[in-house]
Every structure is written in structure tokens, then in C-alpha cells.
Structure 1
């Protein structure tokens, strides 16, 4: 089952990030890209300046996982977090990648992005025991929140950039509220149903 976090838990995680430090400014922007836009960690890690269209307020890129070209709105809070990192947190570098390691020689973030998310979750103080705590958990949580808000499946598919709605249906399994609406009452069965024809069919 996919891991999900409540809206309140996601907000607590967001507020726990130290935005006063340079590293915190980076981590805050990375967190919002996953929590608000549902970007996968690979697409965040490989995000380049050329992918940010400030004039149109969109992010445009070829998804690492699917190769599919996407354009998504650059929400104001996400854009402001990126700008804050670029102005006050990002080390001087000629790299075309937006996010860099926080220690010298300030290389491009590699698989360490998983550690970044793990640290963010652990430092938030919320209970993560037995729960995944990465960008995918934030994608799952975003999907569940939209389901609870009665967002239609095709819209969620578009927001999460799935190939089709079959992939999005994966999240229906953890939308307990909606599943309860589909539950049918169990009818009482008379004992004679099981004893008909001597009951041999039901032994």
C-alpha cells in the first residue's frame, strides 16, 4: 500500500524546515516541488535553469522516468522558494542544474536527494515509523488529498503526469472514505440455503 500523510502532517513538515540556513532554503524549495507539484525526485534532482520559464510561470521538462514532455504551473510559493534559494542559498557555480550539494565542491545532487527527503521527514517530528518518507510519499499524499476533495480522476492523472488513469487508480486503494461509499450491505442468508440438497455442495 502506498504511504500517505495527512494535510496537517505535510504542513508540519513544511514548517519544520529551517529556511534561515542556506541548506534549508534549498531543502524547502525541493520539498515544495514534491509536495505542491508532485514532481518525482529524479526530475527535481535534474532540474535545470532552462526548465524554468519565469515569463510564463511554468516548469517545462522531459520526465526522467517516462520521457514525456510536460509543462506545469510554477506556483507562486514554489517559485518564491526557488528564487530565495538562488539568491541567498545556492553557492556560486557555473552548473546548469538548479540544486547543488550544500558542501564543497558543490556538485550536482546525485542519489543523495533521497537522504535530503529522509532528513526533512525525520527532523519534522512526525511519526514515520513503518512509513516511507520520500518524494513519492508526498506524491501519494497529494493524490489522496485531491481524491478527498472530490477531484475527478482525469484531473489527478494530469497533475501527477501519469500516462493514463489506470496508473492513477493505484491511489484509490488508500482513499478509504470513497471506498466506503461503494460498500454494499450484506444480506442475511437463511440457514436453509446451506442445507439444500443435503448441504453436500457447501461441505
Structure 2
């Protein structure tokens, strides 16, 4: 009898150790594989070599019957394809029946971003005499000033910041590393926090840490903690839009392109492997330019 749970555990270990996948990525992989394994059990499949493209099409039909979006179906097929690549590598299967199954094209949503007026309100809400206020200011200046991911921000160490040349060493997705610059506002906020507020927060902990961003107990701030911090800042600033760490990343990219940065540079700064991942922001800038034109040109309306 096929031990699906054992194979899933081995695959997750592979994702964690060799692919350096995030907890969120692993969570979705596991959910997708659970659905796939349930399908195999219903079909009486006891050998993964039994699977063929015809059976995959039956699986696809079941997914569509559940009224799932193309994006969700695409992700599930991608998860199973990665799983079979792992099985091929481990010589558990002889071929990958999903390698020739086309993934349904998805409509890429245009990312939303913040306008400077909205950002300014967030920059003004923190009490710079308070350790947590200093931390929060450094946090938002870092996220907006560099465009790094929330996981990259959470993993930032003191030794990763070089104030002499204004750069950060970032450990990105898939163990990819890059250097990103930061500007004067982020520099001031970080220096204030590191030299004052962080020292006070660290005194509350019984152990030392090299993590830059700490919680109220002096322990490393989690990615969830970063999201909560931003939510509280939004509430305090009375900003009506929803703000999350990735929205600040979208805002960074959009503002860079709006101010004339070239696509390749923004790709490097964001740590995108493919230029296509960065190109979505050109749609944002075109939309932005059209709005400016419609609101500004005397004969636009």
C-alpha cells in the first residue's frame, strides 16, 4: 500500500532544506497534495507509476466542478508537478505524467499601491520617544525604502546592514542573495532604533539576538508580528485603505517606475528571478499615467 503521508513528509523536508521554501509555500503544497492524494485513493491508485495524463484530466475536471478559480487550479497542478519532479529525482517513479499537462492561464491581478499622501500619514503616527515607536518607524521605512519581502525583513540581522555605503544584505527566496540600497529616511530611522529603542527592548529578553526587529519582549519579531504592527499603524493613522507588507513592496516598485527607474533595475532590487514578475508593475504605472492625464489635461474629458 502506498504510504502517502511518508512521501509527503519527505517532499516537505526537500522543500525546507533544499528549496528553502517559506512556511506559507509549504502549507499550500501540503493542502494541494492532500486533495490530490484523496483523489488517488478514490480512484484506487496504489502505485504512483499508474497515473497517466488521462487520469490527470479527470482530476482537473473535479477541480473545475468545485468552481475553483483558474489561479487556484493552476497552483494545484503546479504543486503536483513539483511533487512528481521530486519523485523522479528520488527514482520513486519512472516518468512525470503531469509534465505535458498544460496549466490554465491565469489573469494576473494588477497590484494595488499606496499614494504618497497615504504613506505620509503612516510615517507620522509613530512616537519617536518610545522604543516600539522607533521600531515601527524603522520597520515601515525599511519595507517601503527597500521593497524587501516581509520574510526578508523578519530575517534581517544587524550584521546585514552596512551604514557606511547604505546597503542591506538580503537572503531571498530559494537561498538567493542580493544587496539592496536604502535611503536617508530609512538610515535615520534604523540608526535611531538600533542605538536607542532596540537596546531597551533587548534588555527585556533573557537571551541575545542579532535580529534587527524585536517584539515588546525583546524577542525576534515574527512575520505575523510585522503584519500586526502595520495594522495598528493604519488604525492609528486613520487610513481607509488596507495596508500589508506586500502592499509596501508593490508601492516601492510602482513609485520607482513612476519616477523613471528601468525595469531591470527594479527586478534586481525586488529579487525577481524572471522579468515577467516585475513587468506587472508597468500596468500599474500605465494606469497611474492615464489617471494623471485624465485629471490634468484640459481636453482630456
Specify the alignment match of 2:221 in structure 1: 109
CA change 1:57–1:152 in 2 (3 A) is closer
In structure 2, how many angstroms separate the alpha carbons of the residues matched to 1:178 and 1:66? 35
Question: What is the SS of the residue equivalent to 2:124?
Answer: helix
74 and 141 in structure 1: CA distance in 2 versus 1, 3 angstrom threshold: closer
> Partner residue of 1:151?
261
Give unmatched runs, 5+ long, in structure 1.
181-203
Task: Give RMSD over aligned pairs.
Answer: 2.0
Match runs of 1:21-100 below 5 Å:
21-63=130-172, 65-90=173-198, 91=201, 92=203, 94-100=208-214
Deviations 1:86-106 (A, max 9, x none): 22211235211111111x3x2
| Residue 178 of structure 1, CA deviation | 4.8
Q: Higher relative CO (CA 8 A, sep ≥ 6), structure 1 or 2?
A: 1
Higher helix share: 2
Q: 1:56–1:173: structure 2 CA closer, same or farther, 3 Å change rule?
A: closer
Task: Identify the range of structure 1 (87-96 vs 161-170) with the bigger mean alpha-carbon deviation.
Answer: 87-96
Q: Which residue of 1 aligns with 2:235?
A: 122
Q: Say if 1:98 and 1:16 are closer, same or farther in 2 by CA, change over 3 A.
A: same
Is the 8 Å Cα contact of residues 135 and 193 (structure 2) preserved in structure 1?
A: yes
> CA–CA distance in 2 between the matches of 1:157 and 1:170?
11
Q: Deviations over 1:121-164 (max 9, x none)?
A: 22211211xx4x11111111122222322322112212222113
- Tell me the matched-pair count: 174
Q: CA deviation at 1:179?
A: 6.6
Structure-1-length-normalised TM-score: 0.77
Residue 159 of structure 1 aligns to a residue whose secondary structure is: helix
1:79, 1:141 → 2: CA distance?
19
Q: For 1:89, what is the secondary structure of its paired residue?
A: helix
Unaligned 5+ segments in structure 2 are: 1-109, 292-301
Query: In structure 2, how many angstroms separate the alpha carbons of the residues matched to 1:38 and 1:26?
Result: 17
> Secondary structure, in 3 states, of the residue corresponding to 1:60?
strand
Give the alignment's TM-score, normalised by structure 2: 0.54
Q: CA deviation at 1:35?
A: 0.9
Cα contact 1:26–1:89 (8 A) shared by 2: yes
Cα distance in 1, alignment partners of residues 185 and 254 from structure 2? 21
Inter-partner Cα distance in structure 2 for 1:177 and 1:3: 11
> How far apart, in 2, do the equivalents of 1:78 and 1:145 lie?
16
